[in-house]
Amino acid sequence: MNRTTAFGATSLRAASGTFVTLVCLIGLTSVTPVLIVARKDLAPKDLGEFVRYVKSHASSLKAAHAGVGSVSFSSVLLLNHLMHAKPSAVPYAGTGPAMTALARGQVDFMCDQIVNVVPRVQGGAIKAYAVGTPERSPVLPSVPTAGEAGLPEFNVSAWNALFAPKGTPQPVLDRLTDAVDQALDDETVRARLLALGADIPDKERRGQQALAELVKSEIARWSQIIKSAGL
């Protein structure tokens, strides 16, 4: 089985529509908000100021990401598109090095999943401008949503799902889907996911058909964003 995100390591291939032909779908396990974060001493105080600042200083700013196809790469691609700005992109070999560079002030901003940014935001090592979900995260309740902060089009979450190899028998897939459903109802599992800042999908969003619809809609959405960036 494979684990993927809405636009994780498979995103560029998924955008071509080939990914769904290579796997069988089991179920959605969690959804993780994506935040816009910056080095702690970046001048703008809120998201509105940040957008204006990036547009006017793009040539001198550096946006970090964890490699082509990562959540941080794709979400900052969308953010730059929405801001009509092209700061320098600085790739790192993973989220850890990218976040370390941001905390050290070696780059100016990035976007990433809440699970990766909470400790540094709470510790004051970096600042958070907005979360890309319709509601604020209970883990970082003081961080406004992008909609509240004036950029509602930045509606971005990573999601995690289980897949099986192509050709897996349907009865096996059904048992695995039931196991995912039971696991997500377990209080210990739920508590751990919520503590990480993840959202737990309700039962209507966990099954194979719901995941198929999500994958289809995500491919359509991110294909346009990727193509507009010339990738």
What integer is the mean pLDDT of 118-124? 94
Q: What is the largest CA-CA distance in the chain?
A: 57
pLDDT tens-place string over residues 23-55? 899 999 999 999 999 999 999 999 999 999 999
pTM equals: 0.85
Is 136 a member of any domain?
Answer: yes
Is 184 a member of any domain?
Answer: yes
Is 67 a member of any domain?
Answer: no
Is 115 a member of any domain?
Answer: yes
End-to-end CA, the chain: 28
What integer is the mean pLDDT of 159-180? 95
- What integer pLDDT is reported at residue 226 of this predicted model? 79
DSSP strands (E only) in 10-114: 23-39, 62-65, 88-91, 109-113
Question: CB–CB of 92/98 below 8 Å?
Answer: yes
Is 93 a member of any domain?
Answer: no
Is 101 a member of any domain?
Answer: no
Structural domain that includes position 189 = 1-43+110-231
Phi, psi of 192 (to 5 degrees): -70, -45
Is 199 a member of any domain?
Answer: yes
Q: Which residues contact 213 (CB under 8 A, 6 or more apart)?
A: none
Is 97 a member of any domain?
Answer: no
Instruction: Please state the domain count of the chain.
Output: 1
